[in-house]
Amino acid sequence: MANSRIYESGRDSLSPNRNLSPITTELDSQDRLKIGGCLLSELALRYQTPLYVLDEVTIRTSCKAYKDALEKYYPGESLPLYASKANSSLAMSSIVNSEGFGLDAVSEGELMTAIKGGIDSSKIVLHGNNKSEKELNLAYTNGVTIVIDNQHDIDKLKSLVSSNKEPARLMLRFTPGIECHTHDYIKTGHLDSKFGFDLDNLEKILIQLKDAKWSNLIGLHAHIGSQIFELQPHKDLVGVMIDALKLARGIGHPIEDLNVGGGLGVRYVEADDPPSIDQWINTVATAVKESCEEKQVKLPRLLCEPGRSLVATSGVTLYKLGSRKEIPGIRTYFSVDGGMSDNPRPITYQSLYKACLVDRPLDPPVQTVTIAGKHCESGDILIKNLPLPICTSGEFLVVFGTGAYNFSMSSNYNRIPRPAAVLVHSGHVDLVQQREQPEDLLRYDVLPNRLLELG
């Protein structure tokens, strides 16, 4: 926005998670915002609003940062996996695949998207704390590594994979008992978590799986949360995981992979100061190397699962300003043509975002407004206390940092269709997600004849 020059603020061309906006953000000759060489107001007019815009250069730069850092700091084999829950689509799967990434899926839909998007199934892992038989079978028949999360997974797989078939490739998830300073809803590494086996039960589970002919346990997994700005918890995690690795190998499991999860934070507002991708990988890789040396353990293949830090700051959402309501001495509301259905994070996590006018980003702010969504909920507020110049209905607003968990968590609340998504690069734009239409929302409705007759 004008008072902080958001299109320049914190520009890090090597670690996009530290930026407020995509790295290709710039102004044209009339001081209007462009991303990926495309004028945002033209995109809004052409594709309508709300509109998700993804910058391909930012995504690929993030991927390269992870790959380069792993090669630089880790002497063993490594494989970064895209945590596709952040933004799952055929286009995203294709991009990360071309950058040498594998993929982390958590459902049948994400798994199918990954496979059809070109990801080699041997580089896909399936997570989930309540996997269905259909999801497990799809993963098993495609050679996907299955992350067992609980005894329920073990029991289902035991009956699914008979002893005369190829054993299932498995990774075991456990809770390392590490706290980190993040939102309660996105902490997953502490002991009170729905995910993973308790650390105290790890040895028992490893012994249980030792002689199971249907099981080929090749990896261990743990994850401590999301949107983390601290590095020490990741070092602590590695220490716990190497102890678990030594235990598993001692029992007789051919553990090859150590998956440390993800969790690196991104910059949503000026006050956010996440580590760079290089710093995060350096911390994790060095900790693994040193811990293995100390405990005389052979280096595993190092896996990590970045999601938010790959795609969040590559994305923006365009809205059209609509109604205005001023409550003297209290607040001024400006409503947009989207809201909690295309970005549920503010109402769910109290998440903060930055925004500015698309065609007047340098105009000085003279008012403070609250950007409200159009849904029938008082809590449908996207941004509180946003400084803006005098603006009118019909102007376009851009909200930054919406590449992760906006499209993937979107809904049809109030029967509002989901927005379209476009991918921009060097002045070229590709439609990667079609806009839903109101009639699409009726596709699966069934009106019984009995009700028709009563009507």
| Residues with catalytic roles | 376
What is the phi-psi region of residue 264: left when phi exceeds 0, alpha when psi lies from -120 to 50, beta otherwise? beta
Q: Are 245 and 208 in contact (CB under 8 A)?
A: no
Look up tokens 């520009």; give the residue: 11
Calpha distance 173→193 (Å, rounded): 12
Q: Rounded CA gap, 87 and 248, in Å?
A: 33
Say if CB 80 and CB 304 are below 8 A apart.
yes
State how far the alpha carbon of 393 is from the alpha carbons of 31, 49, 251, 390, in Å.
Answer: 20, 14, 67, 11
Strand 26-27 with 33-35, pairing: antiparallel
The DSSP result for 367-389, as a single string, is EEEEEE-SSS-TT-EEEEEEEE-
Q: What is the per-residue DSSP string for 386-449?
A: EEE-S--TT-EEEEES-SSSSSTT---GGGPPPPEEEEEETTEEEEEEPPP-GGGGGTT----H
Residue with token string 């070109």: 118
Tokens 């400084």 locate to 387
How far is Cα 117 from Cα 15, in angstroms, rounded to an integer?
A: 25
Neighbouring C-beta atoms of residue 107, cutoff 10 Å: 17
Structure tokens at 168: 């299932």
Rounded to an integer, what distance in angstroms lies between the CA atom of residue 189 and that of residue 221? 11
Angle at 397 between CA 395 and CA 400, to 5 degrees: 170
